[in-house]
Structure 1
Amino acid sequence: MTLIFAHRGAAGTHPENTMAAFIEAEKAGADGIELDVQLTKDGEVVVIHDETVDRTTDGSGWVKDITYRELRRLNAAAMWDGKHGHCPIPHLEEVLAWLSSTRMAVNIELKNSLIAYETLEQKTISLVRRYGLEKRTILSSFNHHSMRLCRTLAPEIETALLYIEPLYAPWTYVRAMNADGVHPHYRTVTAEFAAEARRRGVAVRPFTVNKRNVMKTMFAYGVDAVFTDYPRQAKQWKEKTP
């Protein structure tokens, strides 16, 4: 059965990567949430997608150059015309503390391809362990070196490799990386690919699936999960799928 992960929370209807978006995802009945982590200037693990705060907040600058205290003053709902009030950028600990009281899983994407945040892996894993969420967590990244390090540091936590272009012989690569799954762009996923992944015990979770026809196709392929900005809508489509 295909699970539904709310991409950056319910990012289609709420400010992405905020507690408001995550809480809405739970209310919508999502099986899990997906979020992105980076490090502040003073080394705190914060939940934000872009390497700068410009697109999603009323501030500007690189996350790596801003202290946690300064970052918390920014409004991550600034682009929503006051609809959601003031939403601070969450600390990963805040999200995990809340998540531990739910039944949902979490996919934590380490945003360390452009900036090689030192100790991001160690700090993220430490917080996951602090809340006993090892079995409900998937770590993923486009930085596959980082995923290999995570597997070494925390073999008990699932890892998945993000990619956009089709991979040749992905199973050989996944095995070499000692990973558990792949998170491909949905356009690269075929029925044959999904079937072969199942046969080889490799989880497949395509991103970012927002259109009804694509969602129905992914359900038909039997992928392990989809990442979507609209978990409420996805759940309705799933329930109507024969």
Structure 2
Amino acid sequence: MKVLVIEDESRIAKRVERITRDILGGKLHSLAVINTLQEGLSFIENNTLDLVLLDLNLNGEDGFDLLARTVSGAFHTIVVSANTDQALRAFEYGVLDFVPKPFNKERLEQAFNRVISNDIEQLHAVKYLSVKKRHTIQLVPIEDVIYAKGAGAYSELFLKDGSKELHDKSLEKLEQLLAPHFVRIHKSYLLKMTEVKEVKVSSGSKYLAMLKSGESIPIGRTKYKEIKAKWV
């Protein structure tokens, strides 16, 4: 894993780095520690990452400024902050976990395990997905998303107004963020179950989810019984 720590307190940054190395061991490919928002943004723009550990108060600068601009990235973000009153807002922006300060190794390890094990149990509702558009970041409300389709390392978001947006996270990472309201019905599709009008079998034993929008998308053969039960 390629990890970036953005933390302005040297003592805490060293502790996060030490614990991260202990937890990840041989799984760790690289680890960088940065103490300012602008340096963090620059590093993210110029490097491939798997995980960012972010403090929300960086020498008086607001970590949400970085979060809003980077949470659309292909990596996951874990916030490590004493600002527990901002936890709900952070989850709404799509962070994978919020570790309150002061923290111990066990709590940070729990957060790392969600990344490593691809845990899809999401206890906090994500309200937005951010997408890069014309050199800006646009926040797309989750309520506007009908389904997501895998596109290699990216995902396509299909919206209620008929438009679609390219999102930098893979379908696997989106599944971690959007469960349980979105369900992986096929290796290439993640669907909001409230948008399903009917689940049916077509000729040739093909399984389909018929949507309220009039679209139909395939259901994986091994997923059909599970999806049928969830829809009913």
TM (norm. structure 1) is 0.30
More relative contact order in 1 or in 2 (CA 8 Å, sep 6+)?
1
